[in-house]
């Protein structure tokens, strides 16, 4: 008897049924791929992953209620062997950068062609990181530079929750007094966090800090 090859097990996480159905139809073209489950929200997804063996998670950034980038960081720690392919409408280098920092193994835009979805899955199976061809064409030089800066990626991941809040507010142009009022801290404590951010990235002032964070994709224009 010929032993049947085990299929590559895929889970789809997107809140739009039409997207999930389209992905299933595309993936079904490959005999060695199998969609074993599909979910529409982060809570159902987390419960399902606790009791399932999954090789690849195709994850929408905008899935309710925890966004896909935050989920990627959580799942990469909880299920280190599981690969994650981000699928999103955001054709934005900032989101791409944040997804890679979080640990995503691939990033596709929903307007990409069906053949590229299968190409991305093949590349991820081979242990490579796959980036949408539309983003590679538009941001190739910028992304090659930023993706190569792994020390910066680690530094951003090492920021505390409070430092991330302060960094976002600094980018929004808020003063230490305004930040203190919103965060329920003293202005001196806020200044301490600002100084800590400058020290971690070896920068001299807040303008350099914000420019650096935007360039690396940690802060997007939308923020």
The H or E element containing residue 165 is helix 161-171
pTM of the model as a whole: 0.68
In this predicted structure, the answer to whether residue 96 has a pLDDT above a threshold of 90 is no
Range in 137-141, 142-146, 168-172, 201-205 with the lowest mean pLDDT: 142-146
Q: To which H or E segment does residue 181 belong?
A: helix 176-183
Q: Where do the structural domains in the chain lie, given as residue ranges?
A: 8-148, 151-216
Angle between helices 93-102 and 133-147 (to 10 degrees): 60
Neighbouring C-beta atoms of residue 127, cutoff 10 Å: 8
pLDDT of 26 higher than 70: yes
Please write the tens of the pLDDT for every residue from 102-148: 889 999 999 998 899 999 999 999 888 888 888 876 554 544 455 54
Return the CATH fold of 151-216.
Arc Repressor Mutant, subunit A (1.10.10)
Strand partners, 33: 8
> pLDDT, tens digit, for every residue of 6-18?
899 999 999 999 9
Is residue 223 scored above 50 in pLDDT?
no
**CATH number, domain 8-148:** 3.40.50.2300
Is the Cα dihedral 163, 165, 168, 170 positive or negative?
Answer: negative
């Amino acid at each position: 008897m010929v032993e049947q090859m085990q299929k590559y097990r895929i889970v789809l996480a997107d809140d739009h049924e039409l997207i999930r159905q389209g992905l299933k139809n595309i993936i079904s073209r490959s005999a060695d791929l199998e969609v074993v489950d599909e979910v529409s929200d982060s809570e159902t997804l987390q419960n399902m992953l606790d009791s399932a063996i999954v090789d690849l998670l195709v994850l929408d950034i905008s899935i309710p209620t925890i966004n896909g980038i935050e989920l990627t960081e959580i799942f990469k720690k909880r299920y280190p062997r599981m690969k994650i392919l981000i699928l999103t409408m955001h054709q934005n280098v900032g989101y791409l950068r944040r997804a890679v920092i979080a640990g995503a193994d691939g990033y596709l835009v929903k307007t990409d062609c069906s053949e590229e979805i299968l190409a991305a899955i093949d590349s991820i199976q081979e242990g490579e990181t796959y980036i949408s061809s539309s983003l590679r064409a538009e941001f190739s030089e910028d992304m090659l530079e930023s993706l190569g800066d792994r020390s910066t990626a680690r530094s951003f991941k090492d920021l505390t929750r409070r430092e991330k809040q302060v960094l976002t507010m600094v980018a929004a142009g808020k003063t230490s007094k305004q930040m203190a009022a919103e965060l329920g801290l003293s202005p001196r404590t806020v200044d301490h966090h600002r100084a800590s951010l400058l020290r971690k990235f070896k920068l001299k002032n807040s303008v350099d800090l914000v420019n650096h964070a935007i360039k690396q994709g940690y802060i997007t224009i939308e923020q």
